[in-house]
Each structure stands twice: as C-alpha cells, then as structure tokens.
Amino acid sequence: MQRKKMFLYGAIIVLGLIADQLSKYAVLHHVQYLERIPVIPGFFDLTLAYNPGAAFSFLADAGGWQKFFFMGLALVICIYLLRAIIRDEFGTMGKIAAALVIGGATGNVADRIVHGHVVDFLLFYYHNWFYPAFNVADSLICVGAVLLVLESIFHQKKKAV
C-alpha cells in the first residue's frame, strides 16, 4: 500500500486517540465525579462517570479481572484491524473504519492503564430515559463498526459481481 494512504490511516488513529484523551483530560480537570452540566437542558449533559466494564457497564462488577480481559481483547482486535489495513484487505471505507476503531480502542485502553477504568462523560437523556454515559473513543468505535458492517456488505456485493 502507498505510504500516503498508510499515513492517512495512521493519522486517523492518532487524531482519534488525541481527541479522545484531550476531551477526557478536560472533563477530568473541570467536572466533579457524577456532576451534571447541562449542555442542552432536558437532552444532553456533560458528566463524569467511571466504567470499569465494557459497553453499558457490562461486567463492571466482575472484581477487576475484566480490566485485563478488555485490554487484551482490544489489543487483539487492533492488531487484526491494523494487519487488515496493511494487507489492503478492506476497501477505502473499511480502512477508515478500522482506523476509527483502533483509535477509539487505544483511547479506552489508555484509560484502563492510567486510571483503571474508562472515563465517560457524554450523557443523553429524555425525561426518565437515560442512554449510558460514553466518550469520544466509544463514538469512534461505534461509527467505525457501522462502517465496517457497511463495507462488508458492499465488499460482498462487489466480489459477487
């Protein structure tokens, strides 16, 4: 693969990681734990929450082993996706998607290493309904995952033709 393209995917990874860590740094230094700062009243607040588990606090109360499990899982996924980017196994959208997932996953792994848990701060809600707090890394992972699914569907059709 061309160096320019590899630079682009590397830049996406690094910029995603930087955006995630800078946003978490700002929240950690300006918001108290569980404090809620309304951004769009009745819909969106900034808050500071800690998540020792995975998505939706899955395994949050597992006793500590989950930290290493999720770090290892993220490492395996990142290696697989990086290898797929280097081997040109995805189309352009898939490589961008993989870079987004890697950037997000490394952001959450950095949290687990530094803090022992993931720092979350984006809280969406409506009346008594709350979506679990999340962060920039989670957003990168979700967008990347959706794009990877779309890429696989598109790539499948492309191969069949």
Residues taking part in catalysis = 120, 138
Determine contact, residues 56/129, Cβ cutoff 8 Å: no
Phi, psi angles (nearest 5°) of residue 102 = -65, -45
Q: Is the dihedral of CA 110, 18, 54, 32 positive or negative?
A: positive
Determine contact, residues 117/109, Cβ cutoff 8 Å: no
Q: For 5-158, list the strands marked E by DSSP.
A: 36-40, 44-51, 118-126, 129-130
Question: How many other C-beta atoms lie within 10 A of the C-beta of residue 21?
Answer: 19
Determine contact, residues 88/9, Cβ cutoff 8 Å: no
